[in-house]
Amino acid sequence: MTAEEFVARLDTDTQRLLRNLAPDDTLRPEVQGDLTVLNLLKVALKNEIEATEIAGRWLVTTDDIPVKLAFARQVGDEAKHYRMIAERLRALGFDGAGFDPLAKGYGPLFTYLMTLTTTVERVAAGQFTREAIAVVKNRQFIEFCEHAGDRETATMYRDVIEPDERYHHELGRSLLLRLAVTPEAQAAAAAAARKTLALADELQRAALTTAGIHHAPGC
Ligand SMILES: [Fe+2]
Ligand SMILES: [Fe+2]
């Protein structure tokens, strides 16, 4: 398979599996339990700091200059998202001073991504797939914010965060077109992408059953 054919197939498979991430529940912005924009933004802080750190660690462990630059761009964007979300939380009345989103440790997806050693796997899982998931989750979150009457958070996601995450996904796509050129590289990339989607699906189910959380934004 050519790299173009491989990426097209990966795209189709990813989009098909991503439909599973759409919550079955209809939107419930009337805030049942802890499902509020504020609490979902706290989940977002953890996602953004993890995304910052993943890209930062990979930036220094690759010799490939375009890949380095792609991760560097991502580090800056994810850190910017963290700051914007923290500022929005402050406006909503949450004082983030002393709040450590990593106090309970890193999540399972972060832990899995840290096991990946080849650039093609990292780009397939961390950029192409994780960021495709983010785009879908952010669209759902924007809808949730609008139903909850929080226009400002919706606008922040629509105008800045979601376009950035889409750009990270596209960075992953262009790097894969150059990197996924052998059957071995394609197999490794596909496996890493599949595992990332499976973990995201599993985590979403767990969040729904244990904390009633759906519509949590991605990064
Ligand atoms: Fe991102
Ligand atoms: Fe982000």
pLDDT at 45: 95
Question: Does the pLDDT of residue 201 top 80, yes or no?
Answer: yes
The phi and psi torsions of 213 (rounded to 5 degrees) equal -90, 120
Query: CA–CA separation, 82 vs 84, rounded Å?
Result: 6
Average pLDDT over residues 30-55: 85
Question: Does the pLDDT of residue 26 top 50, yes or no?
Answer: no
Average pLDDT over residues 116-132: 97
- Mean pLDDT score of the chain: 91
pLDDT at 97: 85
Residue pointed to by tokens 């491989």: 6
Ligand nearest to the CA of 132: 1
pLDDT at 172: 97
Residue 132: pLDDT band by 50, 70, 90 thresholds?
Answer: very high
pTM: 0.92
Quote the tokens at residue 165: 């995450």
Model pLDDT for residues 173-198, shown as the tens digit of each residue:
999 999 999 999 999 999 999 999 99
Per-chain residues with Cβ under 5 A from ion ligand 2: 48, 78, 81, 219
Residue 114: pLDDT band by 50, 70, 90 thresholds?
Answer: very high
Residue 212: pLDDT band by 50, 70, 90 thresholds?
Answer: confident
pLDDT at 213: 77
Query: CA–CA separation, 82 vs 192, rounded Å?
Result: 26
Interval between CA 2 and ligand 1 midpoint (Å): 27
Query: CA–CA separation, 91 vs 120, rounded Å?
Result: 40
**DSSP assignment of 134-198, as one string?**
HHHHHHHHHHHHHHTT-HHHHHHIIIIIHHHHHHHHHHHHHHHHHH--SHHHHHHHHHHHHHHHH
DSSP type of residue 128: I
pLDDT at 61: 96
Interval between CA 184 and ligand 2 midpoint (Å): 30
Query: CA–CA separation, 152 vs 22, rounded Å?
Result: 23
Interval between CA 81 and ligand 2 midpoint (Å): 5
Interval between CA 69 and ligand 1 midpoint (Å): 14
Interval between CA 62 and ligand 2 midpoint (Å): 21
Per-chain residues with Cβ under 5 A from ion ligand 1: 165, 168, 219
Interval between CA 38 and ligand 1 midpoint (Å): 20
pLDDT at 32: 45
Q: Is 54 helix (H, G, I), strand (E, B) or coil?
A: helix
The phi and psi torsions of 171 (rounded to 5 degrees) equal -60, -45
pLDDT more than 70, % of the chain: 94
